[in-house]
Structure 1
Amino acid sequence: MTSESDQLMAARRRRADGAVVDFDGQRLAVARRLKRLQRTTLASNAGITPAAVTQFEKGQSRPTRTVLGQLALALGVPTDYLRMGRPITQVPATEAHFRSLRATPALTRDQALAFAETGLAVIDVLEQYVELPGVNLPAAFLPETPSSSEISAAAAEVRKSWGVPSGPIANMVRLVEANGIIALRLPNFIDSAVDAFSTNSGERPLILLSPQKDDKARSRFDAAHELGHLVMHEGVAPGSKLVENQAHGFAAAFLMPEEEIVPDLPKRLDWETLQQAKKKWGVSLRALCFRANRLGLWSDALYRRANIQLSTMGLPEPGPLGPPESPSLLEKAKDLLLSEGISLEEIATSSRFPLEQLESVIAAGSGRKQRKLVVVEPH
C-alpha cells in the first residue's frame, strides 16, 4: 500500500469516527497558549496538520473523537476540557497593558494572556456560587497627554471615591480587591520575562502581579501602577513609554499624595531620611526619588545621581519591608464554598475545568503557595 493510500484510509477512519459536536476551539487555543506551543508544534505532537489546528481554534471545523484524544494528550488536559463548558473569553493583546510589550516575545505574551483568560473564566464560575465585591472603578477622562497635575488629580479622585483615609495605604493589593478588582499573582509556570500587567476587557478588571518581585514595596507600587492603567487608559494603545510613565505618575501620587509626602522628603540626597520615609509609606527608595523629582523637589541631575547610587546598591534595596503583599479574595471565596459543602471537584466537573486549573487560579488569588499545573491523562 502506498503512502498516499495510507493517508486516504486514515482520513476515512477519522471521518467515520465522527466529529465532536460540542468541541470548543477557544479552549483548545487557551490550552495551547498556556503550554507556550506554536500551532505547528501542537500539530506535530498530535499527528495532525497545522492547518487543522488553525481551523479547530477558529471554529471552522471540529475534530473527531480520536483527534480530540490526540490533542488532549499532546496538551496534557482531559478531553472534557476541550468540549463546551464555561466559556473562556479572549483577552486581546491590544487591551492588556504589559510593562514591556515590545520586549515580550509573542509566545510569552500569549501564555500570560491565556492565564488571564483562564483566571477571568474561573472567577466567572466562582461568582455563580459566591458574591464577590462589586466593581468600583472610577474612570478618569484625561487629555491624550495629561500633565502631572492632572494625573495626580485622577489619583486623588480615586482615593476619595474609595474612602481612603489620609496617610499611607495599609495594604494596596487588598484595597483594589475590596473595590471589585481581581488581583492574581502570576504562577511560576508563566515565563519569568512577563512583568505585572492588567486588563479591563473581561467582566471584571484584572491585575496580574509578577512572582519575581519578592518585595513588599515593589508589589505595592506594581498594584498602584496597574490601577493607573485601569483608571486612565481604557481604549489607549498599550506598551508605549509615555503610557507607562503616566501609570508610574499615578502610582506615585496614589501611594504618596503630594501634601502628605512633601514633609517626609529630603531636599538633598539623604538616604537615612529616605529610609524613614520608605518604612512609613511602604514604597521603595526608587519610588521616593521618583516622587521627589516629579514634585520639583529634586533637580534632574540630583535624580540621576540618586538612581546611579541605587543601581550600585542592587536588589533587594537596603531596608527591605518584608514579603510582597498577596491577594486574598479567591482564598476567602474558596473557604466560603467549603463551609457551604461545595467542593472544587463539583465546580470543576460542572464547568469542565481541570481541578488543577481551578486550584492554580485560586492559589494565584491567595496568599498560599501556588501549585504548578500538572499533566492530566485524557479520559
Structure 2
Amino acid sequence: MRNGTPGFQSERLVEARDSRGLTQVALADLINRTSSSISRWEAGNQSPEPEALETLARALNLPISFFLRPKLQHGDNPMFFRSMASTTQALRRRTCGRLHWAEEIALTLQEWLDLPAVNVPRLDVADYREIREADIERMATECRRAWGLGSGPISDVLLVMENAGICVVKEEVGSGAMDGLSHWSDADHRPYVLIAADKDTCARSRLDAAHELGHLVLHARVKEKTLADAAAFKEVERQAFLFAGAFLLPGETFAAEVWSPTLNGFLPLKERWKVSLGAMIKRCRTLSMINDEYEQRLWKHYSSRGWRKAEPLDDIMPVEVPRLLSRSVRLLIDEGIRTREQLLDDFRLPATDVESLCGLPRGFMTSSGGDLVTLPRVKERQPPAVETAPGSATLIPFRGRGN
C-alpha cells in the first residue's frame, strides 16, 4: 500500500479547489485521477501520496506547504453576499475562499505590524425583524460621529473603512452577479470586506462598500441560517442598502442641497457626493422628498437616457482603491524586516494571489523592486504604539522570526 503525505490537511484541498472555482470532476481531470480519489482526500479518509500532492499543488498553483498548514478557524459569523439571489454556489464558495485567504495574509502581517484598531459601531440586535429604519439612520450617523466625518460628503469611503480597522480587498471575481461580501472574523475579531471590481466605477464601488459596511454594523449578530430564507435575505439586503444611503447621503445635509429632485438637478450633486443618480433617487424616496408616483417617473426618464448601463461622470470620477494590505506589505519590505520571498513563504500563497488580494502591482512580489516606486516610509516609533496618520500602520518590534 502506498503511504499518504504526513500532515496533509484535507480541508485545505477543499478550500483550494473552491477558491480556484473547480469541481471535483474538473480537478480530477486536471491531475489525471478519479473524482472518487479527490472525494476521499477531501473527506480525510485518505491522504494523497507525495507525488499526487505535488501534482495537486501544480494544478491548483499553490505551494505544497499550503496543504500542510491547518486551516484557519474563521468562526461561524455569517458571510454576507451582495446579489446572493443571482449568484451560483460555486461563485460564493470561490469568493468566500478568496476573502479567507486575505484574512490569513492580514493575520500574518499582524505578527510584525499593528493594523488600525477596530472601531466599528455595531447594533446589538440578533433578530433582523427588530431593526427599524430609525435604527438604520441612527447607526449610520453613529459611524460618521465615531470616525469624525461630519455630515458632508465622504472623500474616500474605502480609506475611512480601513482607518476604522476594516480590511478591504478589491479584485475581479469573474462575474457581474457578485458585488461584494463581508463578515466578522473570529480569528482576529476584525471585519473583512471584498468588493468586486468587475463593474468598477467610483459611485458603484462606494455604494458597494457602504452596503457591506451596513451588514457589519447592522447584522453582526444575525445567524447564518437566517440568510437561507429568501424573504429574510431580501429584508437584510434592503436594510444594508438603506444604511448605505444614510451613510453616504445624511438626510438633513443632502436634503438641503437638493434644490430640484430631477435628473438634471442631481447631476452636480453626483460630482460632489460621489454617489450615483440612481442611489439619489432612492434616497429621496426614503426621505419622503418625493412620492412613489414621482419616483417611477424619474426611473422612466433615467432608463430612457440609457443610464442603467452607465451614468454621466462615471468615466471621469477616480475609482477608490484599498491601501491597508498593500502598504503593510511594502512597509515590511522597505524596512528590511521581510523579503518578498520570505513573505510568500509566510503567506503560503503564490505571488499572483498575494498581489491581487493586496492590491499590489503585477510582478511586485517576484521583482527585486528596482523598477518600482517606493512609497514614503513611516517614521520609526518605539513601543508602546501611538496613534498614526490615517491609513498608516505602526511598526512593532520584530518577534522571534529570522530574516
The normalised TM-score by structure 1 is 0.85
CA distance in 1, matches of 2:167, 2:324: 8
Deviation at 1:80, TM superposition (A): 2.8
Per-residue CA deviations over 1:262-308 (Å, capped at 9, x if unaligned) read 111245x4223211221221111111111110001100111112122
Match of 1:324 in 2: 319
Matches within 5 A, 1:253-332: 253-266=246-259, 269-312=261-304, 313-314=306-307, 315-320=309-314, 322-332=317-327
Pair 1:213-2:207 in alignment: no
Match of 2:242 in 1: 249
Aligned pairs, number: 351
- Partners of 1:91 and 1:116 within 8 A in 2: no
- Partners of 2:262 and 2:298 within 8 A in 1: no
CA distance in 1, matches of 2:207, 2:303: 18
CA distance in 1, matches of 2:207, 2:143: 16
Match of 1:5 in 2: none
Deviation at 1:181, TM superposition (A): 0.3
Deviation at 1:369, TM superposition (A): 4.9
Deviates more, 1:292-301 or 1:29-38: 29-38
Superposed CA RMSD in Å reads: 2.5
Amino acid at match of 1:24: Q
- Partners of 1:135 and 1:181 within 8 A in 2: yes
Amino acid at match of 1:263: A
Matches within 5 A, 1:1-379: 12=1, 15=2, 18-84=3-69, 87-89=71-73, 95-142=78-125, 144-145=128-129, 146-187=131-172, 190-202=174-186, 203=188, 204-236=190-222, 237-238=226-227, 240-266=233-259, 269-312=261-304, 313-314=306-307, 315-320=309-314, 322-341=317-336, 342-363=338-359, 369=361
CA distance in 2, matches of 1:243, 1:370: 37
What's the secondary structure of 2:310's corresponding residue? coil
CA distance in 1, matches of 2:34, 2:74: 24
Identical aligned pairs, as a percentage?
A: 30
Match of 1:4 in 2: none
CA distance in 2, matches of 1:310, 1:351: 47
Per-residue CA deviations over 1:166-185 (Å, capped at 9, x if unaligned) read 31111111000001001111
Deviation at 1:370, TM superposition (A): 5.5
Amino acid at match of 2:214: G
- Partners of 1:187 and 1:370 within 8 A in 2: no
Change over 3 Å in CA distance of 1:207–1:370 after alignment to 2? farther
CA distance in 2, matches of 1:80, 1:70: 13
